[in-house]
Chain A
């Protein structure tokens, strides 16, 4: 098991290396003169030179990359081109908001999809299954921001049931935190829950047809035991893969949802940085989100070893 984790980790290192190169090369892709873009047309030659110096444009590319990655490895993403604040601390400050949003969204989508997928899969072909399948297809197609708008209208604009904007720290008031998270997290999580429901349903159906399920029934095990022991562990392999795939989707979603619900999180930070072409911020967000995805994939890979003992072998 330890060996497997180590092997997976070592496999992730070249991947992270290439990710860092792609992230870094964003700077190189800027058409025209980046300094001019940042400072504006009316900037003096001195200002431009100063900006170029700060961007390190005078050094060879390789030197710039190693300087950048050297800092990044110590979690130093430099400072914003506009506010002069440390990107790392700005992100760190906003992390709780984005984390809350993503985690609550994930929990909501699991709470919906686990029972829904299981029941639909075990009762495939019934009315309930068909309705759920149609609902899941719809759920995948509904844009999170439209759902967010709709929920805001229903719960916040036309009624006064839930707050639609702002963030309250969980340390300050867990109840308020939860209330503020509910609408954005549900908007963000619904599409994921639809995807997960579809996935779980189809893997439950396939697994139910397996010979070992028949064996489990032939042994006289109670239906409950057949489902929750023999079926679930096997059916969860594709479902866990699908769950891992939800992480990048949820991260992508925070970018839109945070703006919509006025949550001052990392996604919001990234969007304003894009509008200002504040590349250090953009690079930091891009790199960190990719690292989160790589770590998630790693965790999914390792979970296979538990779920499917075959993968533990050579």
Chain B
């Protein structure tokens, strides 16, 4: 249903099935307060060669959505209640663990937020990449090791041949994340999921790693699901954005559209709290007051209403549904037609 601007320049085939199609995904978690709904009816698609940004504060359900796609929800804690996840035509929900293991790392791969803890401290980085290549490509040790060196070079690790024999703690934060990226692309996945890939890094390194991701996605014609709380990150690399709040998708838009004209107060709130925009318009950096609700105490009506400056009485009672506004846009706001949102101030 949606087609974003093809950034690779290759003509996108609208009729081709999307690479990833998530439909009505419901994820529940077993909390101290019993089973609570974490992701509520998430529906989206990701086309080949495009990048989709998933934005929201922590606790919005964006990471859980990505883990559900990877089949990595902690077994005793989380479960997919219903919905469908189709990757390249294969239905992933209900797939056996063994089949999922074949797909993970091969067709889709994932990069995590904390490069410092995401690599095993007890093994060399080369070994950790090579074992994945061996697992999915079935090649011998030598070839797998060569491939590890190759991808380490590709992500910009200098002296990849000797650095492959180093342990994770011998790398800096940014370099570790490059190693994680090298690992993720080592089996040439079609889908790359990056969960806050730059959040734990220094600001100067963030841009480099983002640029690297952007380049790799183009070079290898991968699709990327980029999860972040930072709209600035989305702006740099994504084609399309999904804004999530309290387990629900509250807005879907092309990135350019979202920046010009948010159609949900939460998106607007995220926009005005971006440091590079706010100083222009307001002396004080605005932010969204309060914090997201706990999953077991979702507010009635629109889930965002307690933190929304535009909330009316009906927002407290009427359930907000995701309304399609155009081919590329949807918003889950009861006042979507009345509000004239934007990042500007006193215009």
Contacts and interface: CB of A to CB of B under 8 A. Distances in A.
Interface of A: 125, 210-212, 214-223, 225, 229-230, 233-234, 307-310, 313
A219 B185 CA distance: 10
B55 to A, nearest CB: 22
A222 B106 CA distance: 13
Contacts of A221: 101, 105, 131-132, 135
A288 to B, nearest CB: 35
Contacts of B109: 218-219
Residue from the set A215, A223, A229, A310 with the largest chain B CB neighbour count within 10 Å: A215
Interface of B: 70, 72, 76, 97-98, 100-106, 109-110, 112, 114, 117-123, 131-132, 135-136, 167, 169-170, 180, 183
Contacts of A313: 169-170
Contact of A218 (B105, B123, B167): B105
Contacts of A220: 100-106, 132, 135-136
Contact of B117 (A210, A229, A230, A233): A210
Contacts of A233: 122-123
A211 B117 contact: yes
A223 B100 CA distance: 11
A107 to B, nearest CB: 26
B111 to A, nearest CB: 9
Given A211-B112, A211-B114, A219 B135 contact: yes
B145 to A, nearest CB: 16
Given A214-B72, A216-B120, A233-B122, A223 B105 contact: no
Contacts of B121: 212, 234, 308-310
Interchain residue pairs A-B with the least CB separation, the first 10: A220-B105, A220-B104, A211-B117, A212-B120, A219-B105, A219-B132, A211-B118, A309-B167, A233-B122, A218-B110
A222 B169 CA distance: 25
A215 B167 contact: no
Contact of B122 (A215, A218, A308): A308
A222 B135 CA distance: 8
A212 B117 contact: yes
A130 to B, nearest CB: 14
A216 to B, nearest CB: 7
Given A217-B72, A313-B169, 9 more contacts: A215-B180, A220-B135, A221-B101, A222-B135, A223-B101, A229-B123, A229-B131, A234-B121, A234-B122
B118 A215 contact: yes
Contacts of B119: 212, 215
Nearest to B103: A220
A223 B70 CA distance: 15
Contacts of A211: 112, 114, 117-118
Contacts of B76: 125
A215 B109 CA distance: 10
A211 B67 CA distance: 13
30 contacts: A125-B76, A211-B112, A211-B114, A212-B117, A212-B119, A212-B120, A212-B121, A214-B72, A215-B120, A215-B180, A216-B120, A217-B101, A217-B104, A218-B70, A220-B102, A220-B104, A220-B106, A221-B105, A221-B132, A222-B101, A225-B135, A233-B122, A233-B123, A234-B121, A234-B122, A309-B121, A309-B167, A309-B169, A310-B121, A313-B170
